[in-house]
Structure 1
Amino acid sequence: MAGLGLTATELGPEGFLPADPAERSALLARYGLRAVGGFVPVVLHEPGHDPLPGLREALAGFGEDMVVVLAAATGADGYDVRPELDAGGWRTLLGNLDRIRREIGLPVTLHPHVGTMVETREEVDRVLDGCEAALCLDTGHLLAGGTDPLDLARRAPGRIAHVHLKDVDDALAARVRAGVLTYTAAVRAGMYRPLGRGDVDVAGIVAALGGAGYDGWYVMEQDVVLDAEPPEGAGPVEDVRASVAALGGLG
């Protein structure tokens, strides 16, 4: 990351960085990096289940300026299938989002994500209308789930507190939306592209958010499935280098 010019990172999956905050900070500092947030899947929709104790435990290593990137987990492994929520499930989910926002004491955003309880445009709008939670604008997951991320950036900029920048091959994403291809198979097939090489209007999104006064982080992400160690200097490293160059071109 440091060699490619990045200055910060989210925590990544469990085990990617040290769990101990002091050890992690020392490691990142050696490379001129800082931790700015982390992805935390949490079951929010089950009546009778209080997500706060488990969430507090998961956030024990978060610094006070780090962004909590919540996903409304289904409770099952993977992102290829999910249940449908009834009215009671939605009331519980929305109520828990507002409780977490009030009680956690850290910046909290909800990440609409394929294969979670908040995936489609209708579900994103239900969150916007039904609670006060801020959003993580993940350009790739939104587009894959049927939401135009540029439209969302323009119509609800005040609700966006964190951004994940991804680019997407929308032809593959459309097959996921149609149920022809699983999400995992689409990622394996290269649904996520380096920035500027897919169908997301990254420049338009950055311009729209900047014009609305957004001053949070832009976290570059590109999900991949690796079946083997790529050759030195190839694979994801090249994709990140291309994405950094594309972002630099935005000024």
Structure 2
Amino acid sequence: MNARIASAPISWGVIEVPDWGVQLDRERVLSEMVSLGISATEFGPEGFLPDAPAERAAVLAEAGLQAVGGFFPVVLHKTAEPGAPGDPLPIIERELEAYVAAGAGTMVLSAVTGEDGYDGVAELTEPEWAALFANLDRALDAAAAVGVVATLHPHLGTVVESPEAVARVIAGSRIGLCLDTGHYTLGGGDPVDFVERYSDRIVHAHLKDVSLEVAARVRAGDVGYREGVRQGMYQALGSGDARIGEIVSALRRSGYDGWYVLEQDTVVENEEDAARALENARRSVAFIRSAVEAEPESAAVPA
């Protein structure tokens, strides 16, 4: 079962958002992952691993890590016309070359607004929704053509964050979903309900535990997303309010056979923060191993 447990560099504070915090070097991050017994990882943001597909594959192989795939933010709602300015498919297809080279199987798309960070709110027009759905299906087909599964990550501060937006994607596109237990909570949803409603569409899972107290301040706009993370919005798995054990049990009952990725946004500003990130990752890995290896409840998840 451990082969299905992976991590992501964001759990060490490595992120695509400018001015987030100290960006630890990849040698340290990858070696600390391996020290925890992790055998697979997502790619991390642009620049963390080499851009050249063969070099990216070589770095992971040298570290002793399998490539899962990665979180790929891209603007998907502007146009679906092939070759038009803003067409996202060429960017997606170029990134897929690295997935093929590294043997990675999952592209986790995030439908970003085009602005830096995750504090904005976007309301799409009906033509923009139509472009989003079309591009999600185009990305799904382009990935499938090279043996990769494309999935959409509902995410705070993107064009798909709320339960209502997720329902529109389910109805309007063929793409599968990445369940992110933290971001779906921040978007106003219940991750256990997410599994019960959409078990047949979940193809990837990002596990975050959440302090609902801090999350409420972020949702209310009292503090920004980064500040909420810095204040402890995400806790070591099993230490917060997100019912991670119940979620994993529900996924297993549903027949989910994808990755369980420890992917908890962290702000690292100094060496003390870096040490705390490593300890939280250690505790989280132990928790998720126990949860994944436990016997699932026998009751089936409703369709």
Same fold (TM over 0.5): yes
Identity, % of aligned positions: 51
Cα distance in 2, alignment partners of residues 121 and 175 from structure 1: 19
Count of aligned pairs: 250
Counterpart of 1:217?
259
Q: Give the superposition deviation at 1:225.
A: 1.1
Alignment partner of 2:93 out of 37, 40, 56: 56
Counterpart of 1:69?
108
Cα distance in 2, alignment partners of residues 125 and 39 from structure 1: 21
Q: Describe the SS at the equivalent of 2:158.
A: coil
CA contact (8 A) 1:65 1:107 kept: no
Q: Describe the SS at the equivalent of 2:272.
A: coil
CA contact (8 A) 1:38 1:66 kept: no
Counterpart of 1:126?
168
Counterpart of 2:220?
178
Cα distance in 1, alignment partners of residues 35 and 57 from structure 2: 18
Q: Deviations over 1:120-166 (max 9, x none)?
A: 11111111121111001111111111111111111111100011111
Write 1 or 2 for the structure with the bigger share of helix: 2
Q: Give the superposition deviation at 1:100.
A: 1.5
Cα distance in 1, alignment partners of residues 87 and 184 from structure 2: 27
Q: Describe the SS at the equivalent of 1:62.
A: helix
Q: Describe the SS at the equivalent of 2:107.
A: strand
CA contact (8 A) 2:162 2:189 kept: yes
Alignment partner of 1:82 out of 121, 125, 140: 121
Q: Deviations over 1:80-126 (max 9, x none)?
A: 11321121211111121112212333200000011110011111111
Pick closer, same or farther for the CA change 1:231–1:202 going to 2, 3 Å: closer
Q: Deviations over 1:155-207 (max 9, x none)?
A: 11110001111111111111222222211211111111110011111111111
TM-score normalised per structure 1:
0.93
Cα distance in 2, alignment partners of residues 71 and 225 from structure 1: 20
Q: Describe the SS at the equivalent of 2:78.
A: coil
Cα distance in 1, alignment partners of residues 179 and 110 from structure 2: 12
Counterpart of 2:78?
46
Q: Give the superposition deviation at 1:65.
A: 4.1
Q: Give the superposition deviation at 1:226.
A: 1.4
Cα distance in 2, alignment partners of residues 50 and 134 from structure 1: 21
Counterpart of 2:245?
203
Q: Is 2:202 the counterpart of 1:160? A: yes
Cα distance in 2, alignment partners of residues 160 and 62 from structure 1: 20
Q: Give the superposition deviation at 1:59.
A: 2.5
**Greater mean deviation of Cα atoms: 221-230 or 159-168:** 221-230
Counterpart of 1:135?
177
Q: Describe the SS at the equivalent of 1:97.
A: helix
Pick closer, same or farther for the CA change 1:99–1:26 going to 2, 3 Å: closer
Cα distance in 2, alignment partners of residues 102 and 199 from structure 1: 37
Task: Give 5+ residue unaligned stretches, structure 2.
Answer: 1-32, 294-303
Task: Give 5+ residue unaligned stretches, structure 1.
Answer: none
